[in-house]
Chains A and B, each alone.
Chain A
Amino acid sequence: MAIEVRIPTILRTYTDGAKAVEGKGGTLDELIGDLDARHPGLRDRLVEGEGLRRFVNVYLNDEDVRFLGGLSTPVADGDTVTVLPAVAGG
C-alpha cells in the first residue's frame, strides 16, 4: 500500500509524464519530501517557505488541505492526494 498522488499536466515534466505517482509518509510534508527524492524539483513547485504555495491546490481525498492542517495534515496508505494549479487572476 502507498499513497497515490495525482499530478497536473503542468508538473508532469517532473514525473516523466506520469499522471500519478506513489509515495509514503505520515504527513503531507513527509509525503512531498519522499516524492522529491525521486522527482527532484517537485517540492519547490508545491512548497514555499513553511507552507504550500498560494496558487497550488492540494487535496487529501475530497478535501482541500488548507482546511485540514496544511503541510502537517496526516496522510495514510490508501489515501489519494491530488494537486491542481489554482485557476486565478485579476
Chain B
Amino acid sequence: MLTITRDLVDRIIAHARADHPDEACGVIAGPAGSDRPTRFVAMTNAERSPTFYRFDSIEQLKVWREMDDRDEEPVVIYHSHTSTEAYPSRTDISYAMEPQAHYVLVSTREDLETDRLVVDGVEFRSYRILDGEVTEEEVRVVESYA
C-alpha cells in the first residue's frame, strides 16, 4: 500500500496536466527505510515525448546526490501516460530498477472511465515492479502523516 499526502498527490497531478500531451516524470524522496514520501522533485523529461520518458541524466545525478547527502531514497517514482491507462507499459517494466520504490502512474487521457482513484480528472494508481513482475497496490491519501 502507498500512503501519501493529498498535497503530494495534487503536485503530481498538476505536473502531469502542465506537461500534457508530453509525459511528465519525477520523484518523491523520503527518509531511507521509512516508506514515507515527503520531498517532491519534478524532473525534466529529457525525451519530451508523448510516449516515452527519461530523467535528464545530469539532473538525476544532482538529485540522487542530494538524496544520498540527506539519507533519503526515492520512495515514489512517478510518470504520466497521456493517451493510455495508468498501467505500466512493457518498457516501464523492463527499465524499473528501484525495487523499493512505489511506481506511481497517472493518466491524463481524455476518455477516462475507471474505478480507480481520480483526482481533478486524472487517474492515479501505484505499483511495485520487481524482476519484471507488476503488482498494483492500494493508494491511501491522507491529509498528513500521523
Contact = CB atoms under 8 A, between A and B. Distances in A.
B57 A90 contact: no
A82 interface: yes
Given A10-B97, A10-B99, A89 B89 contact: yes
Interface in A29-87: 55, 57, 59, 62-64, 66, 82, 84-87
B52 interface: yes
A88 interface: yes
Interface range for B: 20 to 34
Interface residues of A, number: 18
A62 B61 contact: yes
Contacts, number: 67
B60 A90 contact: no
A87 B91 contact: no
Contact of B61 (A9, A57, A89): A57
B57 A64 contact: yes
B51 interface: yes
A64 B58 CA distance: 7
Contact of A87 (B58, B60, B89): B60
Contacts of B100: 9
A40 B61 CA distance: 26
B125 to A, nearest CB: 14
B14 to A, nearest CB: 20
Nearest to A86: B54
B63 to A, nearest CB: 10
Contacts of A82: 61
B65 to A, nearest CB: 8
Nearest to B55: A87
A54 to B, nearest CB: 10
Interface of B: 25, 27, 43, 47, 51-55, 57-58, 60-61, 64, 77, 79, 88-92, 95-100
8 contacts: A59-B57, A62-B61, A63-B58, A85-B95, A88-B47, A88-B53, A89-B89, A90-B92
Given A88-B47, A89-B53, 8 more contacts: A8-B97, A9-B98, A57-B57, A86-B55, A86-B97, A87-B54, A88-B54, A89-B79
